[in-house]
Amino acid sequence: MSEDTWTASRRAFVTYGAVSTGTLFGASGATATAGSEPTDSEPVEQGLMRPYQFAPGSRVTVVESDLEWQPARFDDAYQTNVVAYDHAPSYRAFLFTDPDATLESDRSFEFGSVQGSPGTDDRQFVTVGLE
């Protein structure tokens, strides 16, 4: 393997690895609203997330809340949050909730069962219960 090929391969791996890791850990340009006051909001009973990030019965803790980013494929507005699994804190996932329901950072809860999928045709997200 020549030096030029090895360098190009390594560069491609680093580039694509960083992009996929940024998406997984929620560091893909999402920003939190600074100085926002917690409001009296309705209790959060369910949320949306990707099926491969969902582990039924797992306890998670909200790491970041009130982010200004959401996937373009959503027709409705959702509140974007990042959660970390208590059994594996380095594994993080996006959790989308109703825009009126705000999750506070450091709040813990347990995932319930899958309650269906949202109104998107591609089924890349599932609705999960929060207990």
pLDDT, tens only, 30-76: 444 444 444 455 678 899 999 999 999 999 999 999 888 888 877 77
pLDDT reported for residue 8: 52
Domains of the chain by residue range:
1-30, 32-130
CA atoms in the 13 A half-sphere facing the CB of 106? 0
DSSP structural state of residue 76: S
**Using CA atoms, how far apart are residues 51 and 67, in angstroms rounded to an integer?**
21
3-state secondary structure of 5: helix
Across the range 13-27, mean pLDDT stands at 45
> What mean pLDDT is reported for the chain?
75
Residue 97 has pLDDT above 50, yes or no: yes
Across the range 6-20, mean pLDDT stands at 48
Q: Which token pair is 98?
A: 């109703």
3-state secondary structure of 82: strand
Across the range 2-10, mean pLDDT stands at 52
